[in-house]
């Protein structure tokens, strides 16, 4: 239960860590001289030199193409559209209701209940759901 909840909550952090790793590798690759992507380099990769040198030139072009596409995707893509598992729920209302009913009957540690509550509230906020008993339940934690 805890592993599933932590996966749902920390997915964005995991994704951000991967982005940081990608950007550090891009920094390292930017220090190396890059092959320019122009008609001449494409022509040379396909028509000039021996078979081995053509292979190397084609491989360099492929790397440049991949890095350009990655940079374009990173700059063009929305930052709000993450591939979080909460975005891909088929029945978000049913998931939130079942998890909320488990939360109401739960007698586990406080941290586990808070994790369940975070997943429920993120699901409700993301999918704009209505859980009528959620707000009175939250009032118990808000009151001092």
pLDDT tens digit string along 84-132? 888 888 999 999 999 999 999 999 999 999 999 999 999 999 999 999 9
Determine the pLDDT at residue 17: 57
Whether residues 64 and 97 fall in one domain? no
Number of other CB atoms surrounding residue 12 within 10 Å = 14
Whether residues 69 and 108 fall in one domain? no
Whether residues 92 and 123 fall in one domain? yes
Our count of domains for the chain comes to: 2
Q: CA 19, CA 2: separation in Å to the nearest integer?
A: 25
Domain end, chosen from 47, 77, 107, is at 77
pLDDT bracket for residue 31 (50, 70, 90): very low
Note down the domain range covering 43: 33-77
Q: What is the pTM of this model?
A: 0.54
Does residue 14 form part of some domain?
no
pLDDT above 60 (res 29): no
Q: CA 18, CA 13: separation in Å to the nearest integer?
A: 9
Determine the pLDDT at residue 79: 54
Whether residues 105 and 69 fall in one domain? no
Does residue 3 form part of some domain?
no
Whether residues 133 and 104 fall in one domain? yes
């Amino acid at each position: 239960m805890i592993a599933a909840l932590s996966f749902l909550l920390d997915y964005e952090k995991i994704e951000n860590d991967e982005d940081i790793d990608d950007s550090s590798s891009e920094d390292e690759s930017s220090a190396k001289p890059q092959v320019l992507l122009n008609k001449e380099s494409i022509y040379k990769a396909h028509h000039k030199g021996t078979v081995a040198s053509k292979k190397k030139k084609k491989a360099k072009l492929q790397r440049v193409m991949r890095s350009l596409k990655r940079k374009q995707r990173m700059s063009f893509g929305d930052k709000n559209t993450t591939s979080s598992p909460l975005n891909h729920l088929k029945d978000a209302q049913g998931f939130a209701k079942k998890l909320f009913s488990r939360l109401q009957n739960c007698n586990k540690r406080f941290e586990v209940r808070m994790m369940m509550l975070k997943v429920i509230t993120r699901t409700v906020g993301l999918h704009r759901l209505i859980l009528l008993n959620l707000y009175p339940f939250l009032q118990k934690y808000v009151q001092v």
